[in-house]
Amino acid sequence: MQTFLFITLTAFMVLFTSCTEQEVVNVYSSRHYDVDTRLLDKFSEKTGIRVNTVKADSDQLITRLENEGDRSPADVLITADGTRLVIAKQRGLLQRMDPDIAGSVVPLQWRDSDMYWTGLTKRVRFLVYHPGRVDAVDLADYESLTSEKWNGRLLVRSSNSHYNQTLLTSVIVALGEQGALEWAEGIVRNMAREPAGNDRDQVKFIAAGLGDVAIVNSYYMGLLHNSQNSEERNVAGQMEVFFPNQDGRGAHVNISGAGLAAYAPNRENGQRLIEFLLSMEAQEQIANENFEYPVLPGAGLPDMLMKWGPFREDTVSLDSLGQYSGQAMMTFNRAGWR
Ligand code: FE
């Protein structure tokens, strides 16, 4: 009788503990998009795993991971820029994830070959222009934006932007250090105004007549077109988009991606989250609601991305871009790109 009672009590306690000990996953994320909240809620609903999110700039998150060391509560690092994942890996802040998670589904181009990080989405840094003031035949590539024709007509945000930094690393790889410096100087020369605001603001500046062509991440055009704000929809409706470098190396593509933190206390849950974000369901939701390109081949695209059509991507590896991130900052400074 006593043994029976003991077993019953033990079973009850195991059951009680498993019911009360909430499974969690701790995410450090520099993504700043509404779709993420909906996705993470969906993950929690499906798995019962609670998601705790710390949001900050990816450089701040990397510093935080370095300071926390092996006491870090972080399980997953998510960034909106691929080179930051390369840097996080270099600094020992990530660990290898189970190759089954991304290895078989994400093309090698968009993930780390050692599986320390994987792309979750792709974004193209393309051109947005006002068709009343710009003839598309005059647009070609990033390089030709330095020609005199564009003097005082170009809009692009500051060099603090990771999107610009990674774009410049791709120019360094393509043109060499001197070529990239001359390119950055040419862009600065043609700027319609001193860099200010975010990507969406550059498009609004065109609508306001401050300039004619802007360098912008592709999904922001989708977000403007589908904004709750009618003024933003009106701005987007006046614009056309252009994929540069289609006769050469292709348009610059960056990823937003994820890695498993080096000391992840909830390693399994972290892997489950990354696996969920790479599922067809999540990939199509990100494409439909945030207009990023899925990394999962075969994932459906929203009408707008279908309408933009296929395009040639610059296939330089993110690893090689990551090597030049320090160089890019020096080049921006030398060129006077604020
Ligand atoms: Fe963004």
How many whole angstroms from 287 Cα to the centroid of ligand 1? 14
How many whole angstroms from 31 Cα to the centroid of ligand 1? 7
* Domain 23-122+253-300 homologous superfamily, CATH: Periplasmic binding protein-like II (3.40.190.10)
How many whole angstroms from 278 Cα to the centroid of ligand 1? 19
pTM of the model: 0.92
Q: What is the 3-state secondary structure (H, E, C) of 141-177?
A: CCHHHHCHHHCCCEECCCCCCHHHHHHHHHHHHHHHH
Which CATH number does 124-252+314-335 carry?
Answer: 3.40.190.10
Residue 28: burial class (beta carbons within 10 Å; 0-12, 13-18, 19+): buried
How many whole angstroms from 37 Cα to the centroid of ligand 1? 15
pLDDT of residue 261: 98
CATH fold match for the domains 23-122+253-300 and 124-252+314-335: yes
Kindly list the domain boundaries of the chain, sorted by start residue: 23-122+253-300, 124-252+314-335
How many whole angstroms from 263 Cα to the centroid of ligand 1? 27
pLDDT of residue 333: 98
pLDDT of residue 20: 57
How many whole angstroms from 271 Cα to the centroid of ligand 1? 24
Contact of 133 with 302, CB cutoff 8 Å: no
The per-residue pLDDT string of the chain (338 residues; one tens digit each, 9 = 90 and over) reads 454 444 444 444 444 444 458 999 999 999 999 999 999 999 999 999 999 999 999 999 999 999 999 999 999 999 999 999 999 999 999 999 999 998 889 999 999 999 999 999 999 999 999 999 999 999 999 999 999 999 999 999 999 999 999 999 999 999 999 999 999 999 999 999 999 999 999 999 999 999 999 999 999 999 999 999 999 999 999 999 999 999 999 999 999 999 999 999 999 999 999 999 999 999 999 999 999 999 999 999 999 999 999 999 999 999 999 999 999 999 999 999 99
How many whole angstroms from 77 Cα to the centroid of ligand 1? 16
3-state SS, residue 201: helix
pLDDT of residue 104: 85
pLDDT of residue 17: 44
Secondary structure element (H or E) that encloses residue 78, with its range: strand 76-79
